[in-house]
Amino acid sequence: MIRKLSLILSFFMVSATTFAQNWGGGIDDEDWSFGFNFQYISSEYKILKKPNWRSPFYEVPNSFDPSYNPGVPLTSTLNSISSPPAQGFGLGFVMNRMISDNFDIRATPSLIFSDRVVAYEYEPMAPIILGTGQTKNFQTMVERKVQSTMFEFPLGIKVKSNRLNNLRVYWLGGAKYSIDIASKKKTFDEGETAVNKFLKNNRNYLSYETGIGFDIYFEYFKMSPEIKLSYSANDLLQHDNTVYANPIDKLKLRQLTFSLIFQ
């Protein structure tokens, strides 16, 4: 995937610097310009664990689960908690205010569809025979998926190089506000057994971000391939006393975004 993207970007850059200078739809003559973007997203958590994160989890009293058995662990000892990258996509608008030939202020409100995954690996443990005669088995691998539909509002400063024929290189830095607009059904787990509880995130958070890109000028429009990294500023985890939230001290979100912007 990365090799293909590199080849496509190389083709556009060679094309942009080979031919005569294009007009770009007069985009550089306007104080305000607008457009749209398509985004490919890869998300993962940075997981900060509690000092006793490996300890087995015991069900809390007054559980909704009728099979509640005091003193019986729900999990064995944890070996690891990790977050494999999960893919998503987004669509958004672009609002750009030119300050000078080399500085812009840019906002890109976007709708993002992206899942996140946390994987738990437990030590193997022999089944336990309960007082009811039932057998309690223990899983060694569990994945909890956090489904999210986000509205994001990034605001940043775009620092541009001087134009070379049909190409500019730029750096982007700023911050964004994100809010989850997904249905509450995706996080409603009242009445579920303890091992079926969701791993829940806070609905809104702030992130800081930075990236690089290229403004490539064509006859009637400008296209900008861009790669951006973002990192949440605050903890995303809802700290309820559940199997999958309890071992975690903080969850920070890391996100890699590849965008194609058209103006």
What are the tens digits of pLDDT across the range 69-120?
Answer: 556 788 889 999 999 999 999 999 999 999 999 999 999 999 999 989 999 9
Share of the chain above pLDDT 90, in %: 60
Indicate the average pLDDT of the chain: 86
Closest of 160, 176, 66, 164 to residue 112, by C-alpha:
176
Please say if the pLDDT value at position 190 is more than 70.
Answer: yes
3-7, 204-208, 237-241, 243-247: range with lowest mean pLDDT: 3-7
Please state the pTM of the whole predicted model. 0.81
Q: What is the pLDDT of residues 139-148, one digit of tens each?
A: 899 999 888 8
Q: What share of the chain is helix, strand, coil (3-state, %, to 5)?
A: 10, 55, 35
pLDDT band at 16 (very low <50, low <70, confident <90, very high): very low
Higher pLDDT, 219 or 156: 156
Phi-psi region of 25 (alpha: psi -120 to 50; beta: other; left: phi over 0): left
What does the alpha-carbon distance between residue 196 and residue 215 come to, in Å, rounded to a whole number?
48
183 Cβ contact partners less than 8 Å away, ≥ 6 residues apart = none
Q: What is the pLDDT of residue 228?
A: 97
